Amino acid sequence: MSYQSTHQIIRREPPPLPEQFPEDIPPLLAQVYASRGVTCAEELDHSLGQLIPYHQLKGIKQAVTLLVQALEQRWRILIVGDFDADGATSTAVAVKALRMLGAAEVDFLVPNRFEYGYGLTPEIVAVAAEREPDLIVTVDNGISSLDGVAAAQAAGIKVLVTDHHLPGEVLPSAEAIVNPNQPGDLFPCKSLAGVGVIFYTLLALRSYLREQDWFERSGIKLPNLATLLDLVALGTVADVVPLDHNNRILVAQGLARIRTGYASPGIQALCEASKRDTSRLVSSDLGFGLGPRLNAAGRMEDMTLGINCLLSESLEQARRLALRLEELNHQRRAVEGDMRDEALAEVERLHLDERSELPFGFCLYNPDWHEGVIGILASRIKEKLHRPVIVFTDAAGGEIKGSARSVKGVHIRDALDSVAAAHPELLKKFGGHAMAAGLTIHADALEPFKQAFDAEVRRHLHEEDLRGTLLSDGELSGAEATMALAARLRSEMPWGQGFVEPLFDGWFEVASSRIVGERHLKMQLRWPDSGQPVDAIAFNVDEPLLTMRPRQVQIAYRLDINEWRGTQSLQLLIDTIVAAE
């Protein structure tokens, strides 16, 4: 009896090693870096001096001019954010920085996803107008808000759009737009998160104010915007943007601040709530620990709660808010678990009833599913089926909202754009990135949309693409897999989207195995070359593995250090298993 994982393990081709790498980098690490596109030593340098200057951002001069006017004339500034972690951190960075730079009055407004939906809509402008702002600054949204910007301007409110989402054919008529993805922008890093865009905008503002002696004239101490990098790091990782060199610098600098005890109260409280040790924090902790707790506010209640946590000036206040975020995250997990079970049952039913292959572009709809959790569900089903997935649920007025997640080979926002171009009657609105998007359609359009979406995905994927692949950096010997290597891999680089953590593979003998928790498999394995034992764990394994007791396994794994009662030991974190009995 054997168990075959739905993933296939493929070893990377050994890349040519750049001659300019520092001599103190071991050959194994040099190979890992080179296989991820690093070509020179400068790309391993995460100092702030290596950041791309802001000058190439289109619209940055207009944005600075507008913000200087707002400061000098003591305008009321209202930040309008998004209800995810990128939007929350972007909002917190904007509010904190503008106050540090001398803004007279800064407030924020984040749309409740269940009442207003995404972005600067005319409806949210009406709510904003009640606060009588002189200037609205959008963060992590606005590039598609044509009607919202027009509504604000009609109400006498100026608008600065800062965003990173892909624009449509027409841009909003804002007084200034900063977005590295807008037409004609020459900024090399197109993968900035929303929090990165507003951080860059405020760096440019600070530079101009310093040149004009603004701080001396205003009696303000020259602010250090690097104190906000813990928020920038969290938003960048949580939004799963590619970690190119520029983004790696932002994340590495933010992590360094947290590890050395300079985290803001909100970040520190989120670390405590997620039981993360700030002195050992890595990028995966931001993505899988802090990010979900912050996102829980926007998914289950209102992101105002999460933003207030990030803006907290005392640790006591931040802890109270983080405790509520922890409660909401527990609720989210319970709701997600029920939805996942229902979704997988539907997938199984489709297999049985239709007796045919599932669509390449897969859509699921349930009117009772929680709108705030359908994005997570789409991710889970995508991981299971290895194809683009859209999960829909009911919205108001006969509409249904969908959250899409994609796989390599299908740019999901462009795919939706192609469907809209071919079938303009199907989509009411949509927007997003290469790997994630949101959309709204009329309920009656679901079936024709399913067919059109599947047809579009089939233009990009073939049958062999529908099996998940794991790229391995090769096989390690027992002598190579040391605690020192695990520690260096853990902390030296900010791993993430587009710059993935090193993954290794090999066949191991199984000395023992047992189930821990509900679906976690704890094993003691033996290195094939030396027979030395090593601990390993696989989380949330498939049902067949829970009852098997294999003698040998092929695994793809990451090196980790397990700490238990003050003792550290090497541990293999298993991504996938092929078992032979």
pLDDT (tens digit per residue) in 144-155: 999 999 999 999
Amino acid at 345: A
In b/e form, how buried is each residue of 458-481, taking b as 16+ CB within 10 angstroms? Answer: eebbeeebeebebebbbebebeeb
d(Cα 404, Cα 111) in Å, to the nearest integer? Answer: 20
Do residues 547 and 479 both lie within one domain? yes
Say if 351 falls within a structural domain: no
Token reading at 551: 């003698």
Q: Kindly report the CATH number assigned to the domain that includes residue 159.
A: 3.90.1640.30
65, 207: one domain: yes
First to last CA, the chain: 5
Q: Are 408 and 469 in contact (CB under 8 A)?
A: no
**Nearest Cα to Cα of residue 74 among 95, 98, 105:** 105
Asked if 242 and 186 sit in the same domain, the reply is yes
- The answer as to whether 43 is a domain residue is no
Within this chain, do residues 526 and 407 fall inside the same structural domain, yes or no?
no
| 253 and 132 share one domain | yes
pLDDT band for 580, please (50, 70, 90 cuts).
Answer: low
Cβ–Cβ < 8 Å for 519, 577: no
Q: Tell me: do 461 and 493 sit in the same domain.
A: no
Q: What is the pLDDT of residues 166-189, one digit of tens each?
A: 898 899 999 999 999 999 999 999
In a domain, 325, yes or no: no
State whether the Cα torsion 297-300-301-303 is positive or negative. positive
Judge contact between 300 and 113, C-beta under 8 A. no
Q: Which of 466, 487, 511 is the last residue in one of the domains?
A: 466
Query: Within this chain, do residues 534 and 428 fall inside the same structural domain, yes or no?
Result: no
- What is the reported pLDDT for 346? 83
Backbone angles phi, psi at 298, to 5 degrees: -70, -30
Whether 331 maps to a domain, the answer reads no
Q: Is residue 206 part of a domain?
A: yes
CATH number at residue 575: 2.40.50.460
Contact by Cβ (8 Å): 82, 197: no
The stretch 251-274 carries a mean pLDDT of 97
With respect to residue 508, please indicate whether it lies within any of the assigned structural domains. yes
Least confident of 1-5, 216-220, 255-259, 288-292: 1-5
- pLDDT tens for each residue of 508-553: 999 998 888 777 889 999 998 888 999 999 887 776 666 777 788 8
CA separation for the pair 433, 413 (Å, rounded) = 6
Cβ neighbours of 259 (radius 10 Å): 16
State the virtual CA torsion across 247, 253, 258, 262 in degrees, nearest 10.
-140
Q: Are residues 421 and 528 in the same domain?
A: no
Asked whether residue 125 falls in the same domain as residue 150, the answer is yes
Check whether 107 has a pLDDT greater than 80: yes
Q: Are 274 and 263 in contact (CB under 8 A)?
A: no
Mean pLDDT of all residues in the chain? 91
Within this chain, do residues 115 and 130 fall inside the same structural domain, yes or no?
A: yes
Establish if 312 belongs to a structural domain: no
CB 122 within 8 A of CB 148: yes
pLDDT at 16: 83
Q: Poorest-confidence range of 43-47, 66-70, 354-358, 467-471?
A: 354-358
Can you give the length of the chain in residues?
581
Show which of 422, 442, 466 is a domain's final residue: 466
* Predicted confidence (pLDDT) at residue 3 exceeds the cutoff of 60: no
Q: Is 226 a residue whose pLDDT tops 80?
A: yes
Average pLDDT over residues 110-127: 86
Burial class for 146, CB neighbours closer than 10 Å (0-12, 13-18, 19+): middle
The domain boundary residue, chosen from 442, 466, 490: 466
Q: Are 415 and 456 in contact (CB under 8 A)?
A: yes
Non-local (6+) Cβ contacts of 550 within 8 A are 2, 3, 510, 513, 579, 580, 581
Same structural domain, 436 and 475: no
Find the domain containing 135 and state its range. Answer: 48-263
Instruction: Specify whether 57 is located in the same domain as 129.
Output: yes
Q: Which segment of 1-15, 212-226, 413-427 scores lowest on mean pLDDT?
A: 1-15
356 pLDDT tier (thresholds 50, 70, 90): low
CA atoms of 244 and 499, how far apart (whole Å): 7
Helix 229-238 with 194-211: angle, nearest 10 deg: 150
pLDDT mean over 398-417 = 92
CATH of the domain at 441: 3.10.310.30
Q: How many domains does the chain have?
A: 3
Q: Which of 78-92, 207-221, 386-400 has the lowest mean pLDDT?
A: 386-400
In a domain, 90, yes or no: yes
Please report, rounded to a whole number, the percentage of residues in the chain having pLDDT higher than 70.
Answer: 97
Average pLDDT over residues 555-575: 90
